[in-house]
Amino acid sequence: MNTKELLGLKVKEYRKQKKITQEKLSELIGVDNGYISKLEVGQNFPSLKTLEKIANVLEVDLYKLFLYTSEKNIDFKAEINNIYDNLSRDKQFALYSIAKAIKN
């Protein structure tokens, strides 16, 4: 899934938790009726202003709309290794220094 699809699923999840229809959310944020439907399937990507309106209506912090996986499902070691492998030597050393400082 791409970012647009993942964001759409997250909006849908929070909208359903609040028991708000797509039509009502559209009305509350000032967009036409089909906008939310397209957003939720990844066809639309909202502006920051629209995202803020959505977050406010759904009573959720904006950043939570971008949390696509729970931390317990992330393989931290693999993710850190992947990040490390794609850094320059200087940045690898910086990451190493940070990790070492956290360890102590």
Q: Is the pLDDT of residue 90 over 90?
A: yes
Give 62-85 pLDDT, tens digit per residue.
Answer: 999 988 765 556 677 888 888 899
Letter string b/e over residues 78-87, b meaning 16 or more CB atoms within 10 A of that residue's CB: eeeeeeeeee
Q: Is the pLDDT of residue 28 over 90?
A: yes
Domains and CATH numbers, the chain: 3-66 (1.10.260.40), 71-103 (no CATH)
